Structure 1
C-alpha cells in the first residue's frame, strides 16, 4: 500500500490530507473523504462521519501512523473500495512531504559511498565507523516534498544531492535490539539529503556534526510504501537522474550496518516516534561529489527507488543578502 500527503485548497488556505496512492491508475484517493462517504452509507450523520474520519485520517502522517493498526485497517478498506467520488487525478495533486517527522535522522551505511566520499575528500574512513552505526540529527522544519523547489541559501557554492532510502518508523519504542527492530518499521520512502559540500568541509572538523551544510532542505517523498510490499530490503533498485541524465544507479545492497541495526542504534537511550524518518545513508555512487560534479540552480533532480517511486525536485536560485559570520583571529 502506498500512502502520501497532499495539500487541498480550503476556505482558509491549503490543508493537509492523507491519500492512498494508486500510480497504476494515475489517481489518489482522499482517505478522509472516502471514510466520510463510507460512514454516511452506513447511516452516520455527516457531522459524525467527518468527526470520526478526521480522527482516523488527520493531516499529519505521523499522527495517523501513531494510531497503529486502526489507521491501516481503515486505509485498507479504502483501498478495497476505491470510491471514484474521493479520487483526484495524480497529475492535479500538490504533494507535501510524505511524513512530518519529529526529527530527521540520517545514517551512513553504504560501503561504496563511505569509500567514495572519503577518497574525494582525501581522508581515510575513521575507525569509529566500524564500531557503531553513524548518523546525525537534522531539523524536521525544512523537510520538503515531491515537486517542491529546493531552497538554495546564498552561502552555498557547491550543492549536492544524496540518493537514500527513508525508513519510516511505525511505533514508539526505545532501547531496541536489532532482532526487535523490524516491527517498528512502517514503510520506505525516498530520501534526498541535500548537501552543501563547501560548508560541510568547514563544519565537520568542529566535531559537532553538520548544521548549515544540511539543514536547509531534506526531500522526503513522493509517498510511503508500506514495508509488507518489500521482499528483500537489500535488493531495492535505486537511481538518480539530473535533468534526465542518469548520474548514478545501483541497489540497496552492500551495507556496513543493516536496517535493523540502524533502527536499534537510533533507539538506544532515546525514543523513536511514529512517522520519524531515518535516512539509510547514500548509495554508493549516489552523490555528485563521487562523480566530481555539482548541481546548478534550476537543475531537476530525480531520485527513483524501486517499489516506491520518483522524488523530483528543482533546485532554486541562490538567496542573496544573507548574513555570514566573519572569521575570528586565532586564540591559541
Structure 2
C-alpha cells in the first residue's frame, strides 16, 4: 500500500488516505498514520478495504502533508562515499573513520520540524551554504528493545523519502565542539510523498537482502546526483537493531538511511572537487528527490526571518571557577 496524509479542507484537519492509480481513498477521520501503524496490519487492511468502498479523490487536487508525525527521527550515515566526501567538505579531513565500519552511526534530529511535499524550506537567515540530502527512511512498525537484525524485519512498517536539509556553514562551525550537528540540521526535515508499506518493496531486494532502488536528485530540473540504495553499508533491519540496542524504538519512529553517494548532497561534491561546485542552494531553487518504487518529493528553498542574537558567553578566570 501507499499511505498518504493530506489536508481535509472541509474539516480543516489532516487525514490519511490510500493512494492507488485511481486516486486517493480517504480513511475514517478517527485514523491517523501513527494510530494505524500502532494498531497493526490487520486493522490497516480492514480500514483500507472500508476506504475503497467510497469514491476516490483526485490526487492532483489534494494538499499532501508529511505522511507521519514521527515519534522520533534518527538519521544514519550509512553510505561510505558520502562520509568521505562530506568529511572533507565540512571537517577539512580526508578518509573514513575506522569507527564508521564498526556500527551504523546516527544522530537524533528534530521531530517537530517535519515538512511535507511542496513545502517551502525555511533555511536559517544566517546560513549561506544551503544543501539538500537525498535519503530513504524506514518507518518502525512496533516497539522493540535490543532486537537482532533478523528479528528487526518484523518491525519494518514501510518506507518514505527523506530530505535532511543542511546548513553546512552552521554545521561545520558547531561540530568543532565535538558533538553531532544541531542548528545546522534541526530547522527542517522533509518526508514524503507517502509511506510505501514494506511488502510493496520486497521485489526490489537483491540477493543480500538490500533494497536496490535508483535514487536521483535534481535542482531546478537539472540532475545533480544519482545512486542506488543498495550501495548502503547496512540494511534497514540492521539500523533498527542498532537503534534498539540497550534502548527502545516505538511505532512511528523514523530512521533515515543517510545520504546516498555520487552527488546525494552538494557537500559531498564540494569535498571531492575542493570547490563549491555546484553552488549552494539559493532561495527559490526547486529540489526534487525521486526514488524508484516510492515516488517523488519536491520542495522549494526559502529563508526564515533573522533570529535574535544570543547574549555573549560568560567567561570566568580559572581561580573563580573553584569558588
Shift in CA distance, 202/146, structure 1 to aligned 2, threshold 3 Å: same
- On the 8 A contact 1:203/1:211 being kept in 2, the answer is yes
Deviation, 1:329, is 6.5
Distance in 1 between residues matched to 2:70 and 2:175, nearest whole Å: 25
Aligned length: 301
Question: Is 133-142 or 109-118 further displaced after alignment?
Answer: 109-118
Deviation, 1:324, is 4.4
Partner residue in 1 for 2:269: 291
Distance in 1 between residues matched to 2:269 and 2:126, nearest whole Å: 23
Post-superposition, which runs of at least 4 consecutive aligned residues in structure 1 deviate over 3 A?
A: 324-332
Write out aligned runs for 1:293-332 (5 A): 293=278, 294-324=280-310, 326=312
Residue 97 of structure 1: which of 66, 79, 83 is its match?
66
Deviation, 1:330, is 9.6
Deviation, 1:146, is 0.7
Distance in 2 between residues matched to 1:16 and 1:140, nearest whole Å: 17
Give the secondary structure class of the aligned counterpart of 1:272.
coil
> Taking structure 1 as the reference length, what is the TM-score of the superposition?
0.85
- On the 8 A contact 1:297/1:318 being kept in 2, the answer is no
Residue 277 of structure 1: which of 243, 254, 258 is its match?
254
Deviation, 1:78, is 4.3
Partner residue in 1 for 2:27: 31
* Correspondence 1:253 to 2:230: yes
Question: Is 273-282 or 108-117 further displaced after alignment?
Answer: 108-117
Question: Is 255-264 or 211-220 further displaced after alignment?
Answer: 255-264
Question: Is 191-200 or 119-128 further displaced after alignment?
Answer: 119-128
Residue 46 of structure 2: which of 61, 74, 89 is its match?
74
Shift in CA distance, 156/74, structure 1 to aligned 2, threshold 3 Å: same
- On the 8 A contact 2:77/2:257 being kept in 1, the answer is yes
Shift in CA distance, 161/83, structure 1 to aligned 2, threshold 3 Å: same
> Taking structure 2 as the reference length, what is the TM-score of the superposition?
0.87
